[in-house]
A and B are shown apart, each in its own frame.
Chain A
Amino acid sequence: MRKEVESLLDSTVEKAEKTVDRAADMAEREGLRLVAFGKRFLAPARQQPGLLAHVLHRATGVFILLYLFIHIATVANANFDHRSFDELMRILVSPPFLLFSWVLFVVIVYHAANGIRITLFDAGVGTARQKGLFLGVASVTLLFAMWSGYQFLPLIFERLRSGGP
């Protein structure tokens, strides 16, 4: 049974990849290079949104956990020398680290939104609307990215201009 399911999945994926390739080739022949690139680049999201969401969920989860370890180690510096901790905090509000904080916030929002999507599936809600819910997760992430960018980016540019933290 398992082998049958696996071969069915393989043939479906193969068929989908061939369709995307054909469409991309057609676009290339018509001189639409950007469209061809878009078709190939977005193929996994269009054909298998569940797989893309799953891979992204795991990758963002590992990233957040690694950051948690680094965050704890950073805060633990206060145990050794208060002055060097204060100096470290000044570095952590410099533009590159503020940019990293923004990216981290967006990654956390994606992980949380997709976590809600997974919980809904587990509860039997929306399983027939995988693509739609994935687009919902992507939209929520984009909205929060824009809102948090509105908070972070002016500060980053201001600090870049003034040259200070």
Chain B
Amino acid sequence: MAAEIPPRKTYGQPTPEDRHLHRGSGAAAWLFQRVSGIALIGLVGLHFWLVHFADLEGAWSVKAIADMHIKQLSILAVDYALLGFALAHGLSGVRNILVDMKLWPGGERTIRDALSAVGIATFVYGTFAFWPFLTYAGP
């Protein structure tokens, strides 16, 4: 019988044996919250600058918004990225609050699944909300 090979020492790196300790620890959610937060600062800034501060006195209408988004696809890209990131960041924050409040001990996975469903449904509804501006063909 061949001698068992001892696991390689990795000094600080998780070995395959202890990788399960990192799964579900919330590290990925924590990192996402930080990264999406930084991305949102840029996206919200661009959204305010391009859509709101650009024409504070302007009269908003379906035509004006459609013209703006069809002429500048970058605004459309910013708005969709903002929708996705804001929903994910916000709902992840709500999850943190609910888990911290310990209203439902042991229900963390259910909270995560329910909030994910809310996020996906709202993103789809957001796409539906934007549809008339993308398909606008005049009055």
Contacts and interface: CB of A to CB of B under 8 A. Distances in A.
Q: Do A and B come from one complex?
A: yes
B122 interface: yes
Interface bracket on A: 20 to 34
A122 interface: yes
A75 B90 contact: no
Contacts of A58: 93, 97
A62 B97 contact: yes
Interface in B26-73: 30, 34, 37-38, 40-41, 44, 48, 52-53, 56-57, 59-62, 65
Contacts of B37: 112, 115, 119
Majority secondary structure of chain B interface residues (helix, strand, loop or mixed): helix
Contacts of A115: 37, 41
A122 B40 contact: no
Contact of A65 (B59, B83, B94): B94
How many chain B residues sit at the interface, stated as a range, is 35 or more
Contact of B56 (A61, A78, A155): A155
A153 to B, nearest CB: 11
Interface of A: 58, 61-62, 64-65, 68-69, 72-73, 75-76, 78-79, 82, 85-86, 89-90, 92-93, 101, 105, 108, 112, 115-116, 119, 122, 151-152, 155, 165
